Amino acid sequence: MNERIFTPQYTNSSLITTTLETVESHRWLIDNMLMMPKHEVWLQRQMRLANVKRASGTTRIEGAALDEEAVGRLVNRSTAVNYTKDEQANINALQAYEFVDFLSDQPDIPIDELVIRQLNRYFLTGEAELLTPGVYRRGQNKIGDYAPPNQGDVPELMRSFALWLRTYQIEVHPVIKAGLAHIHTVAIHPFWDGNGRTARGLSTLVLQRSPYGFRKLLALEAHLFSVRQDYVAAIEHTLVTSFSSGYDATSWLEFFVVALLRHLQELVDRLGNWYQMMRQAQSFWANNGWPERHMDAYSFAVQTGQITRGDYMEITGVSPATASRDLNEMVNVGVLRVEGKTRTRVYYPLDLENVSSVD
């Protein structure tokens, strides 16, 4: 039996084309210049931070009130007792993005209906059974002035959509595919609730499965929250008031690629500052004749805001005794300051410009 496949309608406008060219140059910088692969601990921490930003951003778009700092504190909470509604929504989102990160590294698992339904299930964990998490809606819903397709059409539309998602199209740029995945999930609105969060999670997954994953450091959801009115307006302008299989996604894609580029520019600027700092630190360390592992630890501390003895051991591979000795030396020469005692000590980076050369 020949299954119908979703056929998106859009035009590669000059704005889309020129924006994607800049996105490509930024991708090259991140992949080839602005990262240090040896700092896997730093990279993993930044990925976790990106997921905190994604969770906070995607839930705040839906009306939750927790900012990134509050969501970050949830990560280390040891109990699920007495979570507020907003806290539960963010715990759900964090789990959903962990699922996204896992799938991003599993190319043998197709992005299909099961994946989309599981994403929705994660986002709606703990919600009322009436919302049927992960199950296509069995009724008609309306979102503002927009009426999605009849519930009877949802299964076929999702099969067609999933077939398109798992089919390689050489003519479709991965960023465009991510944008189309987002808007078409919203257009179908296949679930009773969590459709926007599912759409944003799916878009991130599509990006991370492609060469445009940006080391899993993007948190586009946070940027979309910062431009929420424009974001909602772009969706409304594209979908108008009711579902049409032939809707033109061009205006939405123009918004999406520009939003991605603006957020990507923030990431490139941050990594660029870190890269410049590392070059300066390398010169400073060479002039003072200090071990290179000191510089590795210092650059890690600058980027993450702090370093512990455990971090130092993981980065450099030295013993606990050597780690303690090295960190104390760095405190003594004025490149780190320390707080806490014994095993709870945390070391914070100081400005190198205020450090005197040491013989």
Cα 106 to chain center, whole Å? Answer: 17
pLDDT tens by residue, the chain, 359 residues: 457 899 999 999 999 999 999 999 999 988 877 655 456 667 777 888 899 999 999 999 999 999 998 998 888 775 656 789 999 999 999 999 999 999 999 999 999 999 999 999 999 998 888 889 999 999 998 888 999 999 999 999 999 999 999 988 888 999 999 999 999 999 999 999 999 999 999 999 999 999 999 999 999 999 999 999 999 999 999 999 999 999 999 999 999 999 999 999 999 988 888 777 777 777 888 788 888 888 888 888 887 788 999 888 888 889 999 999 999 999 998 899 999 877 789 999 988 776 655 44
Q: Which domains does the chain have, with CATH numbers?
A: 14-269 (1.10.3290.10), 289-354 (1.10.10.10)
Tokens describing residue 345: 């000590």
Report d(CA 320, CA 8) in Å as an integer.
Answer: 57
Report d(CA 242, CA 220) in Å as an integer.
Answer: 27
Considering the entire predicted model, what is its pTM? Answer: 0.86
SS3 for 237-283 is HHHCCECCCCCECHHHHHHHHHHHHHHHHHHHHHHHHHHHHHHHHHH
The 10 Å Cβ neighbour count of residue 233 is: 13
